[in-house]
Amino acid sequence: MKLKAAWFFTASALMALATFSARAGAKLVVAGEAGGAVPVSISGFTGEVAQVLEFDLFVQGFRITTPEAAQFQITGSNSGNVVGRVTNPLKETILSKSYTGASLRRQAHAFADDIVQVTAGRKGIGLTKIAFKVETGANKEIYIADFDGHNAQAVTRDGVNVAAPTWAGNKFALYYVTYKFGNPVILFHDLASTERRTFAGFPGSNISPAVSPDGRKVAMILSKDGATDLYVANADGSDLRRLTKSREDESSPCWSPDGQWICFAAKIDARRSLCKVSVSGGPVQRIQTAGVANPTEPDWSPDGNWIIFTAQMGGFEICRVPAQGGTAELLVSGEDPSWAPNSRTVVFARRAGGSRRLSLLDVPTKQTKDIPRISGSNSQPSWAR
pLDDT computed for residue 210 by the predictor: 98
pLDDT at 181 over 70: yes
* pTM of this structure: 0.90
pLDDT computed for residue 354 by the predictor: 84
Q: What is the pLDDT of residues 350-380, one digit of tens each?
A: 998 889 999 999 999 999 999 988 888 999 9
Closest CA to 251 of 213, 219, 224, 288: 219
Q: Are the C-beta atoms of 295 and 302 separated by less than 8 Å?
A: no
What is the mean predicted confidence (pLDDT) over 114-131? 97
pLDDT computed for residue 45 by the predictor: 98
Number of residues written out for the chain: 385
Q: Which of 11-20, 56-65, 123-132, 255-264 has the lowest mean pLDDT?
A: 11-20
Give the CA radius of gyration of the chain.
22
**Topology of domain 20-120, CATH:** Double Stranded RNA Binding Domain (3.30.160)
The contacts found for 373-378 with CB under 8 angstroms, 24 or more apart, are: 373/149, 374/132, 374/134, 374/143, 374/145, 374/149, 374/152, 375/134, 375/136, 376/134, 376/135, 376/136, 376/137, 376/139, 377/134, 377/135, 377/136, 378/132, 378/133, 378/134, 378/135, 378/349
Q: What is the pLDDT of residues 26-57, one digit of tens each?
A: 333 343 444 689 999 999 999 999 999 999 99
What is the mean predicted confidence (pLDDT) over 148-155? 96
pLDDT at 24 over 50: no
CATH architecture of 131-383: 6 Propeller (2.120)
**What is the pLDDT confidence band of residue 226, given thresholds at 50, 70 and 90?**
confident
User: Which residues lie across from 80 on neighbouring strands?
Assistant: none
pLDDT at 75 over 70: yes
pLDDT computed for residue 2 by the predictor: 40
pLDDT computed for residue 127 by the predictor: 97
All structural domains of the chain with their residue ranges: 20-120, 131-383
Rounded Cα distance, 80 and 70, in Å: 27
Q: Per 3-state DSSP, what percentage of the chain is helix, strand, and coil (rounded to 5)? A: 10, 45, 45
**What is the pLDDT confidence band of residue 17, given thresholds at 50, 70 and 90?**
very low
pLDDT computed for residue 35 by the predictor: 62
Rounded Cα distance, 104 and 150, in Å: 13
Mean pLDDT of the chain, nearest integer = 90
